[in-house]
């Protein structure tokens, strides 16, 4: 019998790449233009850091 994954990784060490994708899924970094489109209409000042 297998148990469900714990809600957090068990250590503060960096995750191996296969575990990273298991926890967070596949992703693409956002570009400044993508972020600007996402934030369009937000009525407060925002920054990219």
- In this predicted structure, what is the pLDDT of residue 34? 93
- In this predicted structure, what is the pLDDT of residue 40? 94
- In this predicted structure, what is the pLDDT of residue 48? 82
* C-beta of residue 36 within 8 angstroms of C-beta of residue 20: no
What is the model's pTM? 0.43
1-49 pLDDT per residue, tens: 677 777 766 667 788 888 888 888 888 888 999 999 999 999 999 888 8
Q: Where exactly are the structural domains of the chain?
A: 16-40
Output the CA–CA distances (angstroms, integers) from residue 28 to 21, 25, 38, 43, 49, in the order listed.
Answer: 12, 10, 15, 26, 17
């Amino acid at each position: 019998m297998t148990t469900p994954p714990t809600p957090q990784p068990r250590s503060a060490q960096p995750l191996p790449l296969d575990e990273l994708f298991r926890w967070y899924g596949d992703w693409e970094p956002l570009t400044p233009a993508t972020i600007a489109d996402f934030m369009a209409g937000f009525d407060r000042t925002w920054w990219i850091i």
